[in-house]
């Protein structure tokens, strides 16, 4: 089975390609060009299919990076685009025997034909304007039949229905997953509060009574150290309670919960912070928890790696959902360097997967010396499954 890397910032486009190819090929996915470069260098796929218009690193830049690296220079690449004509692709990439073009929208058969041709190193000549035609960055005219378009429309309609069903199933899965995670966090928090903290509090009280009976200076000094240790243990457990489930999240909302989180951690991390709440309504509980966890992961990375002096958090309603931005002025980094599992950056893929499962998107914008900005958007969805008019 050939290994194929699909690079596209649209989860829907990736899903369509995966559906067409997954049965006969090993598929890996990247949500942007930077991730695609990293995966291509580490996995060395037999073929890459890339969109062109993507944030941060577009398809043409990805192609240049692959061709300039001896490890990836001969990987066949299919440029999958509706934004550029074959002539424009030819002008930009030049003559490249390992590069072909697949026009969007494309039928499953056109995808399979294009992949087979690219893998055999014999890109077939196609019609530039025909959806699904491939060529080695070469145009041969434009012909489109009504019969072909009707078949394409029927296939696309079927795929849309299948994706809508998958979206509904995914929404239910996300809600169940979030609920299960939060229930477990609440259970652990309750156990810590009702058991561990109570036991240590009782021990602290007994130590206080014991101290009244001590007179020897050395014993009093040891007693003071022991009480300090118990007090520190209680404080750490209370901090753990906050990490598991901040009470502000339910009582006062997402923005206040993020402020409370920053109040606990900003002084230790050494940065100042601002939280701007521009949302006119609170996100539904499941969305609220999801956004809080993604922001928490981003802020953990900031505290561990950024050496930032300031952090800015923005929450706003946007396009039928909620957009959350966490930006710092720290060291920054090259996202393409941490697309694989590198110690300290495991949270990047976790944040993206959480947002994608909720039907949203996640992106990161960073460069060495220029700070880091993490953005996430998820649609408004209440607990009954209503999407709140987001479409």
Phi, psi angle pair for 49, to nearest 5°: -115, 120
CB 132 within 8 A of CB 103: yes
Rounded distance between C-alpha atoms, residue 325 and residue 348, angstroms? 14
The owner of tokens 């946007």 is 318
CB 388 within 8 A of CB 380: yes
Q: What is the pLDDT along the chain (391 residues), one digit of tens a residue?
A: 789 999 998 888 888 888 888 778 889 999 888 889 989 998 899 999 999 888 778 888 899 899 999 989 899 999 988 777 767 777 777 777 888 888 877 788 888 888 999 888 644 433 333 444 444 444 434 444 566 666 666 677 667 766 666 666 665 665 576 667 767 877 887 788 788 888 888 888 888 888 888 888 899 899 899 989 999 998 888 778 777 777 788 888 999 999 988 987 777 778 899 999 999 999 998 888 889 989 988 998 898 888 999 999 999 998 889 999 999 999 998 876 664 444 444 467 778 877 887 788 899 999 899 999 999 999 986 554 443 333 3
Length reported for the chain:
391
How would DSSP label each residue in 73-135? TT--EEEEESSS-HHHHHHHH-S-TTEEEEESS--HHHHHHHHHHHHTT-PPP--TTSTT---
Topology of 2-144 in CATH? Rossmann fold (3.40.50)
Handedness of CA 208, 212, 218, 221 (dihedral sign): positive
310-318: strand order across its sheet:
272-277, 310-318, 321-328, 372-379, 361-366
CB 62 within 8 A of CB 37: yes
Spell out the domain ranges in the chain: 2-144, 167-245, 248-391
Tokens, residue 337: 């360097």
CATH of 248-391, one of 3.30.1360.30, 3.30.565.10, 3.40.50.620, 1.10.3720.10: 3.30.565.10
């Amino acid at each position: 089975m050939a290994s194929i890397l699909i690079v596209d910032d649209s989860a829907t486009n990736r899903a369509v390609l995966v559906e067409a190819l997954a049965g006969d090929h090993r598929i890996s996915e990247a949500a942007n060009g930077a991730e695609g470069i990293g995966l291509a260098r580490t996995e060395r796929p037999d073929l890459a299919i890339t969109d062109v218009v993507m944030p941060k690193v577009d398809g043409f830049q990805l192609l240049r990076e692959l061709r300039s690296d001896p490890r990836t220079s001969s990987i066949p690449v299919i440029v999958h685009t509706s934004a550029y004509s074959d002539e424009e692709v030819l002008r930009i990439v030049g003559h490249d025997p390992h590069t072909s073009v697949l026009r969007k929208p494309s039928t499953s058969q056109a995808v399979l034909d294009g992949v087979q041709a690219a893998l055999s190193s014999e890109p077939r000549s196609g019609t530039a304007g025909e959806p699904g035609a491939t060529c080695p960055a070469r145009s041969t005219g434009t012909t489109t039949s009504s019969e072909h378009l009707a078949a394409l429309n029927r296939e696309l309609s079927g795929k849309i229905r299948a994706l809508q069903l998958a979206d509904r199933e995914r929404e239910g899965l996300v809600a169940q997953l979030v609920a299960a995670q939060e229930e477990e966090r609440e259970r652990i928090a309750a156990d810590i509060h009702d058991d561990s903290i109570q036991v240590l509090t009782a021990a602290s009280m007994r130590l206080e009574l014991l101290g009244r009976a001590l007179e020897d200076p050395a014993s009093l000094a040891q007693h003071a150290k022991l009480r300090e240790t118990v007090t520190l243990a209680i404080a750490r457990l209370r901090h753990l309670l906050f990490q598991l489930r901040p009470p502000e999240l339910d009582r006062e909302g997402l923005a206040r919960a993020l402020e409370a989180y920053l109040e606990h951690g900003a002084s230790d991390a050494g940065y100042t912070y601002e939280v701007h709440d521009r949302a006119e309504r609170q996100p539904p509980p499941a969305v609220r928890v999801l956004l809080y966890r993604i922001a928490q992961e981003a802020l953990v990375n900031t505290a561990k790696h950024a050496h930032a002096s300031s952090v800015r958090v923005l929450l706003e309603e946007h396009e039928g959902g909620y957009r959350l931005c966490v930006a710092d002025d720290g060291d920054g980094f090259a996202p393409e360097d941490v697309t694989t599992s590198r110690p300290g950056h495991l949270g990047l893929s976790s944040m993206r997967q959480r947002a994608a499962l909720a039907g949203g998107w996640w992106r990161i914008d960073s460069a060495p010396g220029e700070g880091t900005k993490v953005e996430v958007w998820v649609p408004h969805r209440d607990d009954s499954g209503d999407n709140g008019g987001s479409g």
